[in-house]
Amino acid sequence: MKRIMTGVFAIVCAGVLCVGLAGCGGGSKSASSASASASASASASAAASSSAASSSAASADEYVDPATINPGWLDSDVRTSDVWFLNGDKSAGGIFFTNAANEAGLSYTKVDANDQDGDSEFNLVITEDKHLRTAGNTAPKIDIVFDDVMTCYDYVNGNFYIRGDLKELTSMMAGKTYKAEERDDVEMTFNEDGTYVETVKGKSETGTWKIAAATVVEMTYDSDGYVEEYRMTIDNGTVPRLMDSGWKYYSLVK
């Protein structure tokens, strides 16, 4: 249903950024687990190096405009929400963004591996070449480019960050149908071609959908271009529930 998204984004512990590193096992499996962990760590490092090289050579046309970045949802804890983890490693530190009343429309905060807030920056601007950076002529705290809505690179510290796997998150929603929990006459189907159909009391409305953040699926209505955000509940690689901005829930039908 069409509503305006409101509320303050705080820090979340729910579930699941879909990019993480392999964990360590115990007992007789410790050697193989350590090997898997080392392999995953190496893969993340390689991905980081590759992205850093690509970011440093990319043109502004290849970057996502920071003004269009959706911060997603952050509730009570950091580990599994829209935190951008260093090299995609959820056991490491990271950064997160929130909406802010500044020129860029975003603020920035570091978090360490223990979920403690660190340095923050609210005085941000967006440059003509699509960098999100500290305003003014002093040495910036950040100078970030977004390769897509899930990956970014900071030129100040040379770090690469990931908050989710865009393809995997998209596949979780593609082809799924959800029904409102409080009424039987509201249903939404997210087609695999990126279109959707919303049916209310037998009347259908169409549009397009996309994953806008690690916790957000965004729907744009064909009729008037209105954009609606639904928060995804992610559980073991599936999205069993959605929640709209009015805190109404929708359950997976098929």
The tens digit of pLDDT for each residue in 126-156 reads 999 999 999 988 789 999 999 999 999 999 9
Q: Are 22 and 88 in contact (CB under 8 A)?
A: no
Give the CA distances from residue 108 to residues 97, 144, 149, in Å, rounded to whole numbers and listed in that order.
Answer: 5, 11, 15
Task: Kindly report which listed range (21-30, 41-50, 238-247) carries the lowest average pLDDT score.
Answer: 21-30
Domain spans of the chain, in order of start: 27-164, 168-252
Q: pLDDT tens for residues 57-99?
A: 466 788 999 999 999 987 645 455 689 999 999 889 999 999 9
Query: Residue 7: is its pLDDT beyond 80?
Result: no
Query: Residue 54: is its pLDDT beyond 80?
Result: no
Residue 219 confidence (pLDDT): 96
Q: Which of 70, 61, 68, 69 is CA-nearest to residue 128?
A: 61
Name 200's bridge partners: 186, 203
Q: pLDDT tens for residues 100-134?
A: 999 999 999 998 888 777 889 999 999 999 999 99
Q: Which of 227, 190, 218 is CA-nearest to residue 2?
A: 227
Query: Residue 211: is its pLDDT beyond 60?
Result: yes
What pTM, to 2 d.p., does this model score?
A: 0.74
Q: Does the structural domain 168-252 have CATH classification 3.40.50.1100? A: no
Residue 254 confidence (pLDDT): 82
Instruction: Tell how strand 143-148 and strand 176-180 pair up.
Output: unpaired
Residue 80 confidence (pLDDT): 54
Query: Residue 223: is its pLDDT beyond 90?
Result: yes
